[in-house]
Amino acid sequence: MISLSLIGSIIGINVVYVSIFSLRLILMIKGRRGIASLLAMLEVFVYLLGLNLVLQNLDNPFNMAAYCLGFGLGVYAGSRIEEYLALGYIVVQVIVNSVETNLAMNLREKGYGVTAWEADGKDGKRLVLQVLVKRKNERRLMETLAKMSPQAFIISHEPKSFKGGFWVRLTEGRKL
């Protein structure tokens, strides 16, 4: 017999479990061990609840399917939560065709820390800018760059750590 409340419980518990698992893993990677350890305790508790429900009801394949569905939905939900939290920083490298541009100055006026230098490209001189920005502000920076320099070549990546400079004074005491 199929119990919709049991299936719903299994799905719900697994969504919560895998979402917590995803966040814990991301926090561990970012060096936030304390909060990751607390989440690990909650994660294991929720995991045991869900596993107990499934193991007590192995006679119904719908329960196992619900467990799998909840797992998949949990991965999706966890990634969306992390995207919303946008923990950490990114480095955005911007390469523009003209060294005569005021792009670096304009970005600094908007509050971004910018380091700029001249480089040699395939077709001549280029201006290279490096901008360190909180991940939650990445979209706003990209929109600004699209308006100010729509032809720019842009690369972004997440630094593991940084030391010294403009941002360290602003973020002192915080972990990436």
pTM: 0.65
Residue whose C-alpha is closest to residue 70's, from 2, 4, 8, 3: 8
**Architecture of the domain spanning 89-157:** 2-Layer Sandwich (3.30)
Distance CA 133, CA 99 (A): 23
Distance CA 63, CA 107 (A): 54
Distance CA 114, CA 106 (A): 10
Q: What was the pLDDT predicted at 166?
A: 58
The pLDDT profile of the chain, 176 residues, written as one tens digit per residue, is: 778 898 999 899 999 999 999 999 988 888 889 999 999 999 999 999 888 888 888 888 888 899 899 999 999 999 898 888 887 888 999 999 888 889 999 999 998 889 999 999 888 899 999 998 888 899 999 999 999 999 999 999 988 776 766 555 454 444 44
Distance CA 16, CA 67 (A): 12
3-state class of 3 per DSSP? Answer: coil
Domain ranges of the chain: 4-85, 89-157
CB 155 within 8 A of CB 140: no
